Chain A
Amino acid sequence: EVRLVESGGVVAQPGGSLRLSCVASGFTFDHYNMHWVRQAPGKGLEWVSLISWDGDSTSYEDSVKGRFTISRDNSKNSLFLQMNSLRTEDTALYYCAREVQETAAAFDYWGQGTLVTVSS
């Protein structure tokens, strides 16, 4: 069974930093590109970042470029999101998601999410 379990979400202050983690199981982690997607309370979904299966390629949504860094440790089946210079608008439930292997264009498994609240 494919499982993605996020952690690390807390209450942080504007300008602060946070590191989210996602541990994967039930599939060969280093065969898949992985993503972070977020959802502000009561709002829609917003893609945040992508990392290739080998960690060599990354991409970011414009509003997080230069502030967030995605990484992975394939030896530990783990995905990370380092979040710096946090803003109140970063408040959201952060999901890690696996990319469909047959096409880069969708996400077939999602975790349950970890809540990040940025507030003074």
Chain B
Amino acid sequence: AIRMTQSPSSFSASIGDRVTITCRASQGISTYLAWYQQKPGKAPKLLIYAASTLQSGVPSRFSGSGSGTDFTLTISYLQSEDFATYYCQQYYSYPPMYTFGQGTKLEIK
């Protein structure tokens, strides 16, 4: 099974900061990588799919990059509403399997 490892597991940042979260796959997954944001008591929200495609309605300060095994989610200018937990998720097609990273909790400094 493909394992997804996010780093860091948690960190704190200030409003206005540029932050980057990393996700590494245990084997190559092309660009079959998505990013989600989850706030306490809420369902996850899709931010990015296909490694770099911004989901409709998601602010442009969010961006994704990478292919193969190494991926990043960048928030260019942190807003107060961005403090949440972020998950990466991979897709493997044969047989269809989906794996999430362990999550990265972003807290306000």
Contacts and interface: CB of A to CB of B under 8 A. Distances in A.
Interface of A: 35, 44-47, 50, 59, 61-62, 95, 100, 103-108, 110-113
Interface residues of B, number: 27
Contacts of B44: 45, 95, 107, 110
Given A108-B46, A113-B43, A44 B87 contact: yes
Contacts, number: 63
B33 A105 contact: yes
B50 interface: yes
Contacts of B43: 95, 110-113
Nearest to A45: B100
Interface of B: 1, 32-34, 36, 38, 43-46, 49-50, 55, 87, 89-91, 93, 95-103
A106 B91 contact: yes
B101 A108 contact: no
The 5 closest A-B pairs by CB, nearest first: A105-B91, A106-B34, A106-B49, A47-B98, A110-B43
